[in-house]
Amino acid sequence: MQKKRIAVLFGGKSSEHEVSRVSASYVISQIPQDKYDIITIGITKEGRWLLYSGDIKNIKDGSWEKDPNNKLAFIAPAPRVGGMVILNENGYEIVKLDAVFPVLHGKNGEDGTVQGLLDLAEIPYVGCGLLASAACMDKIVTNIMFENAGIEQAAFTWIYTEEYKNDPDACIVKVEAALDYPIFVKPANAGSSVGVSKAADREQLIKAIEIASKEDRRILFEETIVGKEVECAVIGNSETFASVPGQIAPAAEFYDYDAKYNNAASQLFIPAQISDELKEIVRRVAVRAYRALDCTGLARVDFFVTDGGRVLLNEINTMPGFTSISMYPKLMAACDIKGSALIERLIELAYERAEKNV
């Protein structure tokens, strides 16, 4: 049987560029090479697309960009092309692609942009489609959709950054009227807790708004929920499976970028340290939220579980991390879907979605 050709996209013009490289290194190492030919396409922070054919280990540390054999390449949106265009000294070369695994986190990759390109190209791809990717990436849109679906979450309000620049006092009054301190301040579109702050008073709120405004044109404000940070991995298209929930014990005051990727003191508990009844509620709500936002392929659904037994949905990540400390692969491994079996299943789901339009 002829092997199928899978392109793995990594890097990206995003604040999560480095995390994407680490995730991609893991994904590439787990794709069964007896079944698939792997093509790696790196996207620099400046947005250059390069065909990379060197050692996988150079992807993780970023040295792949210096490879002299790199070639300018891009995925063509025209279906008749059906794949990647490589630019060279003789003009160009076209390489057909059977599927794409976009291991991209954050803006310009996880937010529907690349998904839209692949839809135009009519190439199957791993993960959620354009709508779910865009909606889940935008925290304000996600909150509004959860609210409409009757899924319990933290109280919230939001503003435009331009609105704040024009009348900061009015925006501060609006936020303080809606929420009590401490308040979480988040850019509408950013992942891995980039640009997220916790404000205990007005002075900290102003600083937090300045930080978040550098990441996005809209800012979300949420009430602080005191409880356990619980996550659930979901896999599937029309038929879904939710993993045993896991729990985060962050090294920092909250699970920020440093606590996620740099601080070894952060702990993960699998299963989560909550009752069996609450675990089942988490799993049910995870699937409900996954379906409500039209997710396919995979997603990690994050919750707060209070000591009083409330289960509040926090957010959905449509391309969760695949690093050595990432919760998604760990949760799936706890359910006996491990390593190459997990990655192969995600590729199969990409084909299923393309063939059945599910």
What does the DSSP assignment read for 144-180? HHHHHHT--B--EEEEEHHHHHH-HHHHHHHHHHH-P
- pLDDT, residue 258, reads 55
Question: What b/e string do you get for 86-107 counting C-beta neighbours within 10 Å, with b at 16 or more?
Answer: beeeeeeeebebbbbbbbbbbb
Domain ranges within the chain, ordered by starting residue: 4-125, 135-152+225-356, 156-223
Q: Are 314 and 320 in contact (CB under 8 A)?
A: no
Amino acid found at 137? M
Q: Give the up-direction half-sphere exposure of residue 140: CA atoms within 13 A in the CB hemisphere.
A: 15
Q: What is the pLDDT of residues 187-204, one digit of tens each?
A: 998 755 678 999 999 999
- Which residue in 109, 111, 86, 113 sits closest to 97, CA to CA? 86
DSSP label at residue 64:
G
- Asked if 175 and 209 count as a contact pair (C-beta separation under 8 A), the reply is no
Q: For the stretch 258-271, what's the b/e string if a residue is b when 16 or more beta carbons lie within 10 angstroms of its beta carbon?
A: ebbbeeeebeeebe
pLDDT digits (tens, 9 = 90+) for 30-71: 999 999 999 999 999 999 999 999 999 999 999 999 999 999
Fold that domain 4-125 belongs to in CATH? Rossmann fold (3.40.50)
CB neighbours of residue 82 within 10 Å: 16
Domain covering 156-223: architecture: 2-Layer Sandwich (3.30)
CB 131 within 8 A of CB 113: no
SS3 331: helix
Q: What is the CATH number of domain 135-152+225-356?
A: 3.30.470.20
Q: What is the pLDDT of residue 192?
A: 55
C-alpha–C-alpha distance, residues 86 and 84, integer Å: 6
Residue 47's closest CA among 13, 87, 77, 23? 13
| 233 beta partners | 300
The mean pLDDT of the chain is 94
Q: What is the pLDDT of residue 89?
A: 87
Q: Which residues of the chain have pLDDT under 70?
A: 191-193, 251-265, 358
The structure tokens listed for 308 are 């009083």
State the residue for tokens 């590439």: 28
How many residues are present in the chain?
A: 358
